[in-house]
Amino acid sequence: MMLHIPTLLMVSVFVFCLMGLLTVHAWTRVREPALGYLGVMLLLASLGTLLIVVRGMGMDFVALILGNVVLLLSAAMNWTAMRVFVQRKPSLPGILAGPGLWLVMCLAPAFYGSMSARVTLYSLLAASYGVLSALELWRNRHTLEVAYLPALVLTLLHTGFYGVRTVIDPGLPIESEHTVGGEGVPFFSFMLFESMLYAIGIAYVTLAMVKERAELRFKAAAFSDVLTGIGNRRAFMLYGIQLLAVRARADKPVALLLCDLDRFKRLNDNFGHPMGDQALIAFSQVAREALGKHDLLARIGGEEFACLLADTDETRAIEVAERIRLAFYSLDLLAPGFLSVSIGIVTTTAANDDLSRLLSHADQALYCAKDQGRNRVQVAALPALRL
């Protein structure tokens, strides 16, 4: 079926413009830079396509030079949108390289007069920006934490189209592309159709990635302590239950350290809450350095912290607790020996593998440490049997 090219050109202008305006509107709502660049990309595509419309109407210079410059800037904005989405800064030299090369080549009469040369160069430049866009997603796939594959596949298909075009499309005379019926130009028709599909698809999947990442950030904020950056009580209870269940199935012991900063109220009263905040941050850093990568650390109260140590028996739990206590006691935040922490320890047993029960027993051991003078480690008075 032959497609009417003038109609496709006008439909493309409106599709690109509408998708660009909607994407820019989305950017104004969430202020995600990737959406802003993507909106600019679509609006430039609309403008570039509109300039192509005047081709063969006595304004070939505008269509062949300015129109293609705008379209190449659009392709560069697509790359920039993916670049900023993966948390990299825009590259102005990279953005201008493609359009600049096109302008320079158009100064050569031989190039300007050869449609096949123009089609080949434009397709190569557009494909190059597509490759760069795909590389941004692929190189950062391990840190994106969102469903990037739809965007990657769309970009590769779009890039592959321009790669194929460089080989099989020799270019067509202006009058052929603007015949009244527009017949006889199937590849040009397909190019317009494919561009519209890509514009709609990339706008949708990018918005989906932005939405997914925003949800992950909100979730992370809900499970983290604002001051110290470690987990909060909600995170500790959720992930702690999961850790206990996994280690129970593997028949591995788990130890719980319940830590409470000594005389914290006095610290706040004498030196102010900013100093108290610094003490909390300092303790979280000390505890984090003492724990392993599979251990869980959270601030579960004002000056109370909990550490869940995977594959840890009572002996090793005491060693870790003492390391935390001594490191915190040695800090010179005010003066060495001014800050201290009391720690209660409990390990899992056949009848003591519930997180709430562990917290209760560790709390008893913690208060026993407080009663015996603070700045000490106390083990709960329970049999420390392995599961």
The answer, yes or no, to whether residue 309 has pLDDT greater than 90, is yes
pLDDT digits (tens, 9 = 90+) for 328-366: 999 988 777 788 999 999 998 755 678 999 999 999 999
pLDDT for res 176: 47
Three-class SS of the chain: CCCCHHHHHHHHHHHHHHHHHHHHHHHHHHCCHHHHHHHHHHHHHHHHHHHHHCCCCCCHHHHHHHHHHHHHHHHHHHHHHHHHHCCCCCCHHHHHHHHHHHHHHHCCHHHHCCHHHHHHHHHHHHHHHHHHHHHHHHHCHHHHCCCCHHHHHHHHHHHHHHHHHHHHCCCCCHHHHCCCCCCCCHHHHHHHHHHHHHHHHHHHHHHHHHHHHHHHHHHHHHCECCCCCCECHHHHHHHHHHHHHHHHHCCCCEEEEEEEECCHHHHHHHHCHHHHHHHHHHHHHHHHHHCCCCCEEEECCCCEEEEEEECCCHHHHHHHHHHHHHHHHCCCCCCCCCCCEEEEEEECECCECCHHHHHHHHHHHHHHHHHCCCCCEEECCCCCCCC
pLDDT for res 157: 95
pLDDT for res 59: 63
Q: Where do the domains of the chain lie?
A: 5-222, 233-379
pLDDT for res 147: 92
- Between 38-42, 64-68, 233-237, the lowest mean confidence (pLDDT) is in 64-68
pLDDT digits (tens, 9 = 90+) for 45-84: 999 998 887 765 666 677 788 889 999 999 999 999 999 9
pLDDT digits (tens, 9 = 90+) for 123-159: 999 999 999 999 999 999 988 889 999 999 999 999 9
The answer, yes or no, to whether residue 187 has pLDDT greater than 80, is no
Closest Cα partner for 249 from 316, 314, 310, 318?
310
CATH of domain 233-379: 3.30.70.270
- Amino acid (1-letter code) at residue 94: G
CATH of 5-222, one of 1.20.1070, 3.40.50, 3.20.20, 2.40.128: 1.20.1070
Mean pLDDT, rounded, for 291-306: 94
The answer, yes or no, to whether residue 274 has pLDDT greater than 60, is yes
User: Using 50, 70 and 90 to split pLDDT, how confident is the model at 322?
Assistant: very high
CA distance readout (Å), 41 to 33, 70, 184, 287: 12, 9, 30, 48
Predicted TM-score of the model (pTM)? 0.73
pLDDT digits (tens, 9 = 90+) for 161-186: 998 888 876 655 444 444 434 443 56
Average pLDDT along the chain: 88
pLDDT for res 177: 47
